[in-house]
Chains A and B, each alone.
Chain A
Amino acid sequence: MTSVRAWNLVGLLVTAFIAVLWLTPLLWAVDTSLKPEGETTLVPLTWFSDNFSVEAFQRVFAQSDMLRWFLNSTVVAVGVTALVLATASLAAYGFSRTDFRGKRLVFGVVVAGIMVPPQVLVVPLYDEMLALGLIDTYWAMILPQVAAPAMVFILKKFFDGIPRELEEAARVDGASILRIFWQVVLPLSRPVLSAVGIFTFIFTWNNFFWPFLAVSDPDLMTIPVGLATIQSSYGLRYAQIMASAVLGGLPLLVAYVFFQRNIIRSVAHTGLSGT
Chain B
Amino acid sequence: MATTISPAPPAPPATRAVPLWRRMPAGLLFTLPFLVFYLAFLVWPTVSSLFLSFFNESLTGTRGEFVGLANWTEMFGDSAMWSAFGNTVYFTLLSTPPLVLIGLVMALLTNRAMPLRWLWRLAFFLPFLLPASVVALIWVWLYQPGFGLVNDTLARLGLAEAGWLTEPDLAMVSVVITTVWWTVGFNFLLYLAALQQIPQHLYDAAAIDGAGWWQRLRSVTLPMLGRTTGLVIVLQLLASLRVFDQIYLLYQGTGGPNFAARPILEHVYTTAFTNFRFGYASAISTFFFVLIVTVSVAQLKLFPSSSNSSNSSKER
Contacts and interface: CB of A to CB of B under 8 A. Distances in A.
Interface stretch (B11-19, B72-80, B90-98, B107-115): B107-115
Nearest to B297: A115
In this complex, the interface size class of chain B, counting residues with CB under 8 Å from chain A, is 35 or more
Interface stretch (B1-9, B141-149, B166-174, B198-206): B141-149
A1 B269 CA distance: 60
Contacts of B29: 94
B139 A25 contact: yes
Report whether over half of chain A's contact residues are helix, strand or loop; otherwise say mixed. Answer: helix
Size bracket, chain A contacts: 35 or more
Contacts of A45: 147, 149, 152
Contacts of B133: 208, 223-228, 245, 248
B285 A147 contact: no
A235 interface: no
A44 B129 CA distance: 31
A107 B245 CA distance: 31
B87 interface: no
Interface of A: 7-8, 11-12, 14-16, 18-20, 22-26, 28-29, 32, 40-45, 83, 86-88, 90-91, 93-95, 97-101, 103, 106, 109-111, 113-128, 130-131, 143-144, 146-154, 177, 181, 199, 202-203, 205-209, 213, 223-228, 230-232, 238, 241-242, 244-245, 248-249, 252-253, 256, 260, 264, 267-275
B27 interface: yes
B131 A203 contact: no
B186 interface: yes
Contacts of B268: 122-123
A114 B52 contact: no
A116 B242 CA distance: 11
Given A25-B139, A90-B31, A231-B136, 7 more contacts: A41-B144, A91-B33, A116-B289, A202-B129, A209-B265, A238-B141, A268-B193
Interface in B264-289: 265, 268-269, 272-273, 278, 281-282, 285-286, 288-289
A150 B312 contact: yes
Nearest to A113: B42
A43 to B, nearest CB: 5
B131 A205 contact: yes
B141 to A, nearest CB: 6
Contacts of A146: 37, 41
Contacts of B186: 267, 271
Contacts of A273: 309-311
Contact of A268 (B149, B156, B190, B314): B190
Interface in B16-51: 25-31, 33-35, 37-38, 40-46, 48-49
A41 B146 CA distance: 9
Contact of B313 (A93, A103, A150): A150
A206 B124 contact: no
Contact of B45 (A42, A97, A124, A275): A124
Contact of A131 (B43, B61, B136): B61
